[in-house]
Chains A and B, each alone.
Chain A
């Protein structure tokens, strides 16, 4: 495409919109290093807010909760999701449209509705709210995303290696263990990373199913925001933004580039 004035305007406009997306996050990060507690006036550079964050027992507790919940829900949703994706890729099912809607509906339904429906379930079953309910809820919303991600990898995979293994008298288990699994692994790892990111970052669903002693990082940030503005929130948010950026980049690199060629 030739560089006309039209394409220059388009690029300038796009850069402005990217700036719109990133400037608020950068300002948020910048003010986590500002000495002044109250104002937006820059009074000097400091690491104090990060230090006070690391000394704050409740932040560390929330971090521990978030990590326990994210690891547990990532493991379970990755295993269940990978199994389902393998089965969907390999076999024909009689009620495929119904199965597909069941598997993908959790992504389409508003998060708030999913959160409150789990709250209603747990309260009707008299199941006390806490880390276990958070883990169950997080597995539920991560599952569909894992299935989509692993399926994308399996669809782009060649099947001839598996057939070769079978021709060479590998047992179904050996074929799976030494051929299918290694080939599908980038998709599985990407799915697990997405599940981990979703879980660590989730606020809406956790908001409904958390108990008194199961505050996660986003829930802690919410409580802080409601109490008032403080540079500690900036520091904690900045750390979460960086964690998310790293996870997204790694997951993106691992994912198959489907959209690229058609």
Chain B
């Protein structure tokens, strides 16, 4: 029956060919140079990584991090209460509640960003309403700025935050909360001392998902942002499609991928120590 063990080989072979090898080629290209005609010359230099330290690129990177932090913050503020409400619904409403959050998760960013274009553009829904009610007499420029990009990102990534938090709340031992309130803890104290620490793995997982996704996002800024709202994702997209500077684009995407993986590793490390903490809390209770 050892033959069955080989069943895993096609998948491994496939991922080596179409995932590992392409990534290795990208690493190689990131150390190459672009010829004046846009071809790739493999001359092994770190120029592309050094170029990233130019002030223009540093400021795009800082903007990207800023947008990612703001997006993550708002998705937590909005996602946690929603996840809590769904987790505390009666049994038969749980699955429909969850499906309600899942559906936007599966609709692609492009369509969901376009929906906001309909609402926010100059002749869009908001401007038309405001003009009709006489609140404004000139349409407002609501699109193509950083605020619009952040709104689009929060909208796009909110389900990524709700789902992991929902799972952690669902697994929460409610007896601990009852014990706390029996012992006279205020609702706020119960939340801060018990609920929050025990659901922290869900918040961390959601944070990782939202943060990483927003770092690499190019659809939302492409559709809702102006020329000044370019993020790292747009910069990479440009290197590959219009600027045709693949080596620089490759270096940028390696930095992006490494940063994402670093965050995931940190998350697992934190999760490990959190597990210890959660067990302690349960032992205490």
Chain A interface (Cβ within 8 Å of chain B)?
1, 6, 10-11, 13-14, 17-18, 20-22, 24-25, 27-28, 31, 38-41, 80-81, 83-84, 86-88, 90-91, 93, 99, 102-103, 105-106, 108-114, 116-121, 124, 136-137, 139-140, 143, 147, 172, 197, 201-204, 208, 218, 221-222, 225, 229, 233-234, 237, 240-241, 244-245, 247-249, 252, 257, 259-260, 262
Contact = CB atoms under 8 A, between A and B. Distances in A.
Interface string B94-110: 11001111111011111
B107 A241 contact: yes
A237 B12 contact: no
18 contacts: A14-B84, A21-B104, A22-B104, A86-B4, A87-B4, A87-B6, A88-B8, A102-B12, A110-B216, A112-B218, A113-B216, A117-B253, A120-B250, A139-B14, A139-B18, A218-B111, A221-B114, A247-B106
B78 A237 contact: no
Interface of B: 1, 4-8, 10-12, 14-16, 18-23, 25-26, 29, 78-79, 81-82, 84-86, 88, 94-95, 98-104, 106-112, 114-119, 121, 123-125, 127-128, 155, 158-159, 167, 170-171, 187, 212-213, 215-216, 218-219, 223, 233, 236-237, 240, 246, 249-250, 253, 256-257, 260-261, 264
A103 B25 contact: no
The main secondary structure of chain B at its interface with chain A is helix
Given A40-B125, A90-B4, A208-B240, 6 more contacts: A10-B81, A21-B104, A83-B10, A109-B257, A248-B99, A262-B171
A27 B120 CA distance: 12
A63 B127 CA distance: 34
Contact of A20 (B78, B98, B100, B108): B78
B37 to A, nearest CB: 14
Nearest 6 pairs between A and B by C-beta? A110-B216, A117-B22, A84-B11, A24-B115, A14-B85, A87-B7
A40 B253 contact: no
Contacts of B14: 80, 139-140, 143
Nearest to B216: A110
B22 A18 contact: no
B123 A202 contact: no
Given A203-B110, A245-B103, A112 B15 contact: no
Given A234-B118, A249-B99, A143 B250 contact: no
Contacts of A21: 100-101, 104, 155, 158-159
A138 B100 CA distance: 26
A203 B264 CA distance: 24
Contact of A113 (B5, B95, B114, B256): B256
A36 to B, nearest CB: 10
B123 A39 contact: yes
B12 A112 contact: no
